[in-house]
A and B are shown apart, each in its own frame.
Chain A
């Protein structure tokens, strides 16, 4: 460590003068030419908008532009926190997100464990192929499946439930707000459970087979092996994914919610479907309250970053894997 520092200092002293850097730069014009388009695109489409969040402290005016808009400090943040929408938006965001975490997070792990227990290679292959497929469909397609399945006058779901005698007349699932969270969470599990299982399957495949042999000799059954070998072996990767999920706890969904609520136009479902991201879209893009919507968005990113850092800290404290 110490020598490294010294070495760094030395090279700094010996670092070329400005003219030298310029010359070196011209000397590698071909290399720089390859990265310049990429750098410019990242600066333009990622960093300019980052600088643009400053407009959440302004009354941004589309016609006078960024530089001539009036600065208003924390006004928009204050407005959001004290608005009547705040409670509803936060409640929906956290509830949907936690529900997704509760069901969407363990589901791929369970699927991976089940697939791993399969003996027949062909059947395993078949289930994998089928279950990965929905991941590659857009939410436009998936939501139209959902809408079609749950439709009140044609929907297969109503037909099946009626045949089974569970309900006696078709239910208008998507127009009843109390079903919305369930529909949302199930459809996102449906879409991504297979794809999510890939990583866990790979982790399971990497477990040393000797462990299983040794435990079998000790008389461990299959369940015992799953609990004592498989699950502990994939715990580090589970924790990493959990950290990522906690950092994204305010990402309750966007594509899925918009597509299931007529792009947010469904006022019937709004009390249960309005989350931070769709709210930003609605008041910002549709309502053109640019500064206010940016403030809401910034509020969200700030909390997300803090959560990610905290979750990572916690994971490190526990002596397990961490993101960085």
Chain B
């Protein structure tokens, strides 16, 4: 009887262990390959442990000027973009909580509509082109400043703050801007931290914007560069399956990076996300909940 009751539990545990394994294995395998000598990786068969351990791949990554530059661009973009986005989105949201704001309803509807309709890829592309933003750093930052989802979460948060908080500032004759920065912002730490993290992860991970708006290799963020490297690698593999001799030729011709090197680049690219992940995890359950409650 007792055993019969335990069986379902055991099945569930096994299933979830399987899921965890399937989820973690690609990360682990890539990490292992990144610590393996490139020429040896090409022989295949690397699964749980490096066969010929080396730090060489990481040395190459950290010496490659193109990669370093891409990391710098990504970091810069993430920091500047997150700061501007949180600043302007939160100010906008605060303004929208004030009932006397002229145009409040119109602004709100305008924002909500963008969640359901958009002009689409091509009109945005034409717009960015005619604004002469192509091949500028700002195209990576400015179009994404207002995030409507964050706007709604900020607004909900500000609305729930007790009205009395702002009284003293009003009595002292502070205007709305002073009140916002000296009273509201200091007590909004958690929500600002949460949304900053989410915005930062989104900016760090975005590869597509740069892939269509940036041609200048000095402005290429790391994810976009990685996308290009992986593509050229995948291309060579496809060609290699067509014929062994051609592949070596193609590889030399394109100067394609070895798999181990790509994996090392990838690991360095995911490192910032892994580093903030514990904080993310603490916050995001709450964040998602606020979002879904609004629905």
Contacts and interface: CB of A to CB of B under 8 A. Distances in A.
Interface of A: 21, 24-25, 28, 30-35, 37-39, 41-53, 55, 60, 62, 65-66, 111, 114-115, 117-119, 123, 126-127, 129-134, 136-141, 143-149, 151-154, 156, 159, 172, 174-175, 190, 193-194, 198-199, 202, 222, 237, 240, 254-255, 258-259, 262-263, 265-266, 268, 277, 280-281, 284-285, 290, 293-294, 297-298, 301, 305, 308, 323
A178 B269 CA distance: 32
Contact of A34 (B91, B205, B270, B277): B91
B15 to A, nearest CB: 6
Contact of A151 (B24, B120, B237): B237
Contacts of B95: 31-32, 34-35, 38
Interface string B263-295: 100100110010001001100110011001001
A115 B92 contact: no
Contacts, number: 272
Contacts of B46: 154
Given A131-B19, A172-B241, A31 B98 contact: yes
Given A46-B119, A138-B223, A198 B285 contact: yes
Contacts of A132: 281, 284
A263 B211 contact: yes
B3 interface: no
A35 B285 contact: no
B78 to A, nearest CB: 13
B269 A141 contact: yes
B9 A117 contact: yes
Contacts of B223: 138, 140
Interface string B180-201: 1000000000000000000001
A190 B22 contact: yes
B196 to A, nearest CB: 14
Contact of A262 (B25, B44, B231, B266): B231
Query: What band does the interface of chain B fall in when counting residues whose beta carbon is under 8 Å from A?
Result: 35 or more
A290 B110 CA distance: 26
B270 A141 contact: yes
A47 B123 CA distance: 10
Contacts of B171: none
B101 A294 contact: no
A123 B13 contact: yes
B143 interface: yes
21 contacts: A28-B100, A28-B102, A31-B100, A31-B176, A34-B91, A38-B151, A41-B142, A41-B146, A48-B119, A55-B126, A118-B16, A129-B281, A136-B277, A137-B270, A140-B205, A140-B230, A144-B230, A152-B237, A265-B235, A290-B122, A297-B121
Given A34-B95, A37-B92, A263-B231, A114 B123 contact: no
A281 B20 contact: no
A44 to B, nearest CB: 8
Contacts of A194: 23
A202 B285 contact: yes
Contacts of A50: 117-119, 123
Closest CB pairs A-B (n = 7): A49-B119, A52-B123, A38-B92, A138-B205, A297-B120, A35-B95, A49-B123
Contacts of A237: 292
